Structure 1
Amino acid sequence: MSEASPTSPPRITLLGIGLMGLPMARRLLAAAMPLTAWNRTPSKALPLQTEGAHIAASAAEAVAEADIVITMLEHGGIVREVLTDGGVLAALRPGALFIDMSSIQPAQAREHAAWLAERGVAALDAPVSGGTLGAEAGTLAIMVGGTEADLARAATVFAALGRATHVGPTGAGQLAKLANQMIVGITIGAVAEALLLAQAGGADPAKVRAALSGGFADSRILQVHGQRMVERDFAKRGAVTVQLKDLRNALATAGELQTTLPVTALLEQLYASAAEHGLGDLDHAGLWLELARRNGLS
């Protein structure tokens, strides 16, 4: 493959073609960016081949000639594994930009960035909020940690995916994502309890949700996840297990910073209980089912 010219779009590699990675890849292809894709389960990446992407046989092969590498992987342990055992760290070209859009611990982001810097590779931690709907629409909220200069290098990529905000140095993007996931997870619990109280008292939960719309209690969570609770639609978009992972990352980070998060700790216990009762692969709005079970409601 020839070197990209200064006027040509950067050659992008996306590692991780799952619920989020697939629609993100399609946004990049729609923006006419040369894309190489890789996934541990190759069949998940194959639909992109007919849409113009090159499908790599290995992660190392996928990144070998990339200008910008994006990861959208399940957790920090997998990012580490792909970098080391997967050969990505050794295969990356000096001067490339590595953008980790996975949700991992800030300390992991800083460690990975240090490894990459030793090889002359720049790094941004840029986790996202907005779910699969935001990924499909290109409206993701992207929280970026790293330098302003590297953010500028990634501007065209981020523009295809959503709205990027620089929140601080390396690791700060992951701190912002933890804050996001704390608010999401806690608010899902509040909405679930409120709708369960309404149901237990004889009110129509759907009409209570409608009545709250536009008031101080209104939120994106009430609108989207509250609707899922009303409709009992718990098909996975953001899984209970992923929400639990994020809350545990928040608590681990809080411990490193000697900060106490009692509300987050309580919700971590509730999501853990939901996972233990077989709800882990449902949408995180499925916390409603765990709270309903505790109250003998259906």
Structure 2
Amino acid sequence: MQINEAPPLSLAVLGIGMMGLPIARRLCAAGHRVQVWNRTRAKAEPLAAAGAVVHEHAADAVHAADIVLSLLENGPVVADVLFQQGVAAAMRPGSLWVDMASIQPREARDHAARLQAQGVGCLDAPVSGGTVGAQAGTLAIMVGGEAADFARAQPVFAPLGRATHVGPHGTGQLTKLANQMIVGITIGAVAEALLLAAKGGADMAKVREAISGGFADSRILQLHGQRMVEQDFAPRGRVSVQLKDMRNAIATAQELGFEAPVTGLLTGLYAQAADHGWADLDQSALFLELAQRNGMA
């Protein structure tokens, strides 16, 4: 059964990883014609059963697309796929590039200017909500770009979650950095607080239960706090990705002449967690770094 009634579009999805896979599945289920590409083709092959066409080369996936979605790893990878692997050259004038990867705002502005010069529209539209939100279609989508392009992307955004137009090119990425600053800092606060309580003899699970519903409650306390209590660090959003986003936030703050000391402190802690072998675990594994520092690992 289709999950929206918008006229079907010809779409391409580039980057079929933990987020790209469920997003492409939902777009197929919404009735759109979906072409997909991933550097490792085997990761994209399961989408063939959902009706997607899998391509060997990224440029082949986009040449007939109305809208191309990027869920690539980072800014340099996005630039390479766009401008070195022939995707930008293969996109039709009048088509639309929607970058859902988390990259630096200045990279988003640069990509937009280069694409607009060849008649291709551009939105930076990073997301929050993780793999759970991608699977359920409840992502928060933060969009920078022109209002007209935002309007024509609505049939794509609708099956994926709630999209908000926050301003011109680059501001979607700036909003995502703000989101990731809050997420990264709050994970650190929850981990440190639960460990302090445990060090003093309290039951972490009961502490989390006790403060739920009060001013300290948050989605982070509920989801990531539960993972800490259960020692469940299977990756949903990895430490390495959280670290990349925190570093992007620091770089952007420096460009703007803005001091971000709290973000800087937490960036250092995530970096040390990655150095200690936890880069590929869930970002809530910052708990392990703080536990080790306190002789509780």
| Interval containing the TM-score (normalised by the shorter chain) | over 0.9
2:78 is aligned to 79
* Separation of aligned partners in 2, 1:26 and 1:138: 10
1:232-243 alignment runs, 5 A limit: 232-243=231-242
Paired AA for residue 138 in structure 2: T
1:148 deviates by 1.1
1:74 deviates by 1.0
1:50 deviates by 1.2
- 1:189 pairs with 2:188: yes
2:179 is aligned to 180
1:8 deviates by 4.3
* Separation of aligned partners in 1, 2:286 and 2:278: 8
1:287 is aligned to 286
Q: What SS class does the counterpart of residue 84 from structure 1 fall into?
A: helix
1:109-258 alignment runs, 5 A limit: 109-258=108-257
Paired AA for residue 250 in structure 2: L
1:93 is aligned to 92
Paired AA for residue 106 in structure 1: P
* Separation of aligned partners in 2, 1:288 and 1:155: 38
1:20 is aligned to 19
1:169 deviates by 0.4
1:147 deviates by 1.1
Paired AA for residue 176 in structure 2: K
Paired AA for residue 249 in structure 1: N
* Separation of aligned partners in 2, 1:8 and 1:101: 22
* Separation of aligned partners in 2, 1:255 and 1:135: 32
* Separation of aligned partners in 1, 2:83 and 2:164: 29
Q: Deviations over 1:12-45 (max 9, x none)?
A: 0000000000000111111011100100000000
Q: What SS class does the counterpart of residue 185 from structure 1 fall into?
A: helix
1:278 deviates by 0.5
Q: What SS class does the counterpart of residue 165 from structure 1 fall into?
A: strand
2:40 is aligned to 41
Contact 2:67-2:97 at 8 Å conserved across structures: yes
2:31 is aligned to 32
* Separation of aligned partners in 2, 1:215 and 1:250: 29
2:3 is aligned to none
* Separation of aligned partners in 1, 2:73 and 2:216: 32
Paired AA for residue 97 in structure 1: L
* Separation of aligned partners in 2, 1:136 and 1:242: 19
Structure 2: runs of 5+ lacking an equivalent: 1-5
1:271 is aligned to 270
Contact 2:29-2:50 at 8 Å conserved across structures: no
* Separation of aligned partners in 2, 1:212 and 1:81: 47
Q: What SS class does the counterpart of residue 249 from structure 1 fall into?
A: helix
Q: What SS class does the counterpart of residue 18 from structure 1 fall into?
A: coil
Paired AA for residue 123 in structure 1: C
1:55 is aligned to 54
1:144 deviates by 0.3
* Separation of aligned partners in 2, 1:98 and 1:85: 16
Q: What SS class does the counterpart of residue 293 from structure 1 fall into?
A: helix
* Separation of aligned partners in 2, 1:203 and 1:248: 34
Q: What SS class does the counterpart of residue 285 from structure 2 fall into?
A: helix
Q: Deviations over 1:138-194 (max 9, x none)?
A: 000000001111011000100010000010000000000000000000000000000
TM-score relative to the length of structure 2: 0.97
1:9 is aligned to 8
* Separation of aligned partners in 2, 1:230 and 1:93: 50
Contact 2:68-2:96 at 8 Å conserved across structures: yes
Q: What SS class does the counterpart of residue 119 from structure 2 fall into?
A: coil
Paired AA for residue 98 in structure 1: W
Q: What SS class does the counterpart of residue 164 from structure 2 fall into?
A: strand
* Separation of aligned partners in 1, 2:69 and 2:252: 24
* Separation of aligned partners in 2, 1:246 and 1:26: 26
* Separation of aligned partners in 2, 1:48 and 1:269: 38
Q: What SS class does the counterpart of residue 110 from structure 1 fall into?
A: helix
* Separation of aligned partners in 1, 2:9 and 2:50: 18
TM-score relative to the length of structure 1: 0.97
